[in-house]
Structure 1
Amino acid sequence: MGFTISYNATHEIRDAIHVLKWIQANINCAISVVFPETKPDLSKLALVGHSRGGKVVLSMGIQLNGTIPISTIIGLDPVDGDRQGIQTDPPVLTFKENTLNMTVPTLIVGTRHGSENWPLFPQCAPENVSHKQFYKDLIEPVYQFVVAKEYGHMDILDDGICELTELECMGTAGSRAPMSRFAGGVVAAFLQAIVGNNTCFFNDVFTNYESAPVILEVPQQKGELPQNHNLQVPLQDEL
């Protein structure tokens, strides 16, 4: 969502946690009725959200604090309100570096134009409560990709989703396809690295970021992933 001021996400976070608890308790039984030979691997759950949804999944990570096993959390241009002091409830950002502990590897994808706005519309992702501040606040291991030019907060969505999103958030005047393709691709590569233990795709995106379908800033990384993930990506100053 583009308009974030005064929207309370408490019920969404609570309901999403209840869904996770239901999955843990009931999904095996529910699936076995139709597919008796299928055994879901509940150790490979991932939480992914865009904009307000990014705030929701990151807040879930804080509240869960490892009580429900999940593998990773991914925030696509997450937003925590209008500015420091005017955050949506419950506030997530602390504005103190390395203070948000997700207990799992985290990926943040941001857009440069998210903090810019068209006349008469508020910023969709104000700079001090969006991806840059989340990356600063998060405890390692965390990775960040930022689209440097052209694309904005709503360009992660597919073309034709809603013309109104083109009005409220600054973004590309052309097709969103390159941005949505990159966002989907980097999420898939990160999930493959975390839950599939296959690191080659994420390694390639991280080290060969100049080949992406959008122009990226140099990807950033804090910390190393646990050894069992076997992800070997050079730090920013080694590129």
Structure 2
Amino acid sequence: MASEIINKPSATAVSVFDYGKLYVDTIPVKQGDESSPPKDILVVSPKVAGTYTVVLFIQGYLLSNTYYTQLLQHVASHGFIVVAPQSIVLSPYSEEDITSAAAVTNWLPAGLQSVLPTGVEPNLDKLALAGHSRGGHAAFSLALGHAETKLKFSLLMGIDPVAGPSKCCQIPPKILTYKPSSFELEIPVLVMGTGLGSEQKNILFPPCAPDGVNHKEFYNECKPPCYHIVVTDYGHLDMLNDTAPKITKCVCKNGTNCREIMRKTTGGIMTAFLKAYLLDLEGDLKAIVDDPQFAPTKLYPVSYRLE
């Protein structure tokens, strides 16, 4: 049953919204490099020696993975290795994103270690999968088995996922069924949405995350345990780098405040979810859902189903 809890938060939640204690390296790896990844990738890793859980992140349509470095650095600074494949194709469909992500997933056991900082090792026993925009649709599709991977995913995060321009025009693979809890997923799922994503920026561009194919429907079709958190006053691309091309501020409706707040909020919630379900550290996530006002900006609605 969906819940909106208003209890006093734990003080632990403050840390996930701030940059973590670990310094990180941002490592571009080309397809032709010695490690031979199947696609160009961006690896964001802690510099401090240790073993860290890995997150595979799929970028949005026509966006570069480098537009997300500030967000991914936030997550990595809390003790995670983030691997972001680069797949820029003109096709509006997700198949290339899905196959690229699957290929990189299969490369991880043999190839990732060689590109990491000295003393850093990946823990692939619990692999997280995440994606933004159309990349969120690709992440859900990959988790649902639309491409074969040698590794199993232990957790899924959709960051303002979009499944097409409208309910009647889903992009392949058409994964939305419009039936509650219809996704055949047996892993915890976080669906983040934006309050402005379903609104038009201007008459030239349609909404970037239209109703009927956005975060609301993705959450509705998830099975427990699943969480739905909407960043009310921000838009579909507001978590990108400050230095991302200016056109990224022209096509989607934006929040009125700086992108840094949205990145802190998005990165903090992602980190809290990863810690809760991969590291058994539930305090941060519980604190956020117990009192959403503790976040850097307004979160509403905040719902979850655990059984």
The question of a shared fold, defined as TM-score above 0.5 by the shorter chain, is answered with yes
Name the CA distance, whole Å, in 1 between partners of 2:255 and 2:61. 16
Matched, 1:194 2:194: no
Residue 56 of structure 2 aligns with which residue? none
Name the CA distance, whole Å, in 2 between partners of 1:59 and 1:126. 19
**1:162-189 CA distances to partner (integer Å, 9 max, x unpaired)?**
2111111011133111111100000011
Which structure has more strand as a fraction of its residues? Answer: 2
The partner residue of 1:10 within 78, 83, 95 is: 95
Matched, 1:80 2:147: no
TM-score, normalization: structure 2? Answer: 0.66
Residue 136 of structure 2 aligns with which residue? 54
**1:125-177 CA distances to partner (integer Å, 9 max, x unpaired)?**
001100000001112211010122x2111112132312111111011133111
Name the CA distance, whole Å, in 2 between partners of 1:82 and 1:185. 29
Contact 2:102 2:149 in 1 (8 A): no
Residue 238 of structure 2 aligns with which residue? 155
Residue 93 of structure 1 aligns with which residue? 176
Counterpart amino acid of 1:153? H
Matched, 1:109 2:192: yes
Matched, 1:132 2:216: yes
In structure 2, do the counterparts of structure 1 residues 116 and 211 end up closer, same or farther at CA, with 3 Å as the change threshold?
same
Counterpart amino acid of 1:190? F
In structure 2, do the counterparts of structure 1 residues 8 and 199 end up closer, same or farther at CA, with 3 Å as the change threshold?
same
In structure 2, do the counterparts of structure 1 residues 66 and 20 end up closer, same or farther at CA, with 3 Å as the change threshold?
closer
Name the CA distance, whole Å, in 2 between partners of 1:34 and 1:127. 43
SS in structure 2 of the partner of residue 74 of structure 1: strand
Residue 105 of structure 2 aligns with which residue? 20
Name the CA distance, whole Å, in 2 between partners of 1:206 and 1:89. 33
Figure out how many residues of one structure are paired with residues of the other and give that number: 219
Residue 235 of structure 1 aligns with which residue? none
- Structure 1: runs of 5+ lacking an equivalent: 225-239
Residue 154 of structure 2 aligns with which residue? 71
Matched, 1:40 2:140: no
Name the CA distance, whole Å, in 1 between partners of 2:106 and 2:61. 29
Contact 1:31 1:38 in 2 (8 A): no
Contact 2:196 2:255 in 1 (8 A): no
TM-superposed CA distance for 1:2, in Å, is 6.4
TM-superposed CA distance for 1:218, in Å, is 3.6
Contact 2:224 2:305 in 1 (8 A): yes
Name the CA distance, whole Å, in 1 between partners of 2:123 and 2:116. 17
TM-superposed CA distance for 1:80, in Å, is 0.2
TM-superposed CA distance for 1:68, in Å, is 2.9
Q: Which moved more, 1:74-83 or 1:164-173?
A: 164-173
Aligned sequence identity (%): 32
TM-superposed CA distance for 1:85, in Å, is 2.2
Structure with the greater relative contact order (CA < 8 A, sep ≥ 6): 1 or 2? 2
**1:92-149 CA distances to partner (integer Å, 9 max, x unpaired)?**
211111101222100011011100012211110001100000001112211010122x
In structure 2, do the counterparts of structure 1 residues 66 and 142 end up closer, same or farther at CA, with 3 Å as the change threshold?
farther
Name the CA distance, whole Å, in 2 between partners of 1:16 and 1:66. 9
TM-superposed CA distance for 1:54, in Å, is 0.6
**1:12-52 CA distances to partner (integer Å, 9 max, x unpaired)?**
2012112212224x248x549996x7653211211111101
Counterpart amino acid of 2:103? H
SS in structure 2 of the partner of residue 151 of structure 1: coil
Which structure has more helix as a fraction of its residues? Answer: 1
SS in structure 2 of the partner of residue 153 of structure 1: coil
The partner residue of 1:174 within 232, 257, 261 is: 257
Name the CA distance, whole Å, in 1 between partners of 2:283 and 2:117. 35
Q: CA RMSD in A?
A: 2.5
